[in-house]
Structure 1
């Protein structure tokens, strides 16, 4: 192991947890931004690997930040679930409307302006 490489056991727990909380907070901020512009269908949050807590204990001084971030994350999870439910309802409504109109594969009527 070189001087630059350290195991998680050798690393400063505060620095390890600070970096982990920053990564988690970046995910929450990105999801909040995506929900704020959900009308724009081309805006999707970046998919990252599942977050894992560091193997070292959480330092006491970072506990309030971690608790606040947990609350934000739980709120964001609930907001995403509500948005997904709204999308499913809208899709079901659209499907029912399409079935009622029975558009099938018939071509759409076209207006032709012709002098008589």
Structure 2
């Protein structure tokens, strides 16, 4: 495992654990947003790692407050779209990284 890959795993695990400890929705979205912006930057640097990055984003669906977000919440929409993008091409449907990037950037403009 490369040093960069090891740091990415640590970042994911730290963020996941921190999100599970947060009980305030605003604080939750703030930290989740920071994670999403970082993942978007990672994708822009290495678009060939898109499935792995989408897998990490979709993994945040199992955090405690994500489970209560309505489907039409912009953060939930990003998490669900990432869930599509982590799938093999023949199963991922209409989702594209460009659309996901646009949704993440829209979150950034709201915060």
**Which of the two has greater helix per residue?**
2
Regarding TM over 0.5, the answer is: no
TM range (shorter): 0.3 to 0.5
Task: Give the alignment's TM-score, normalised by structure 1.
Answer: 0.33
- The structure whose RCO (Cα within 8 Å, separation 6+) is larger is 1
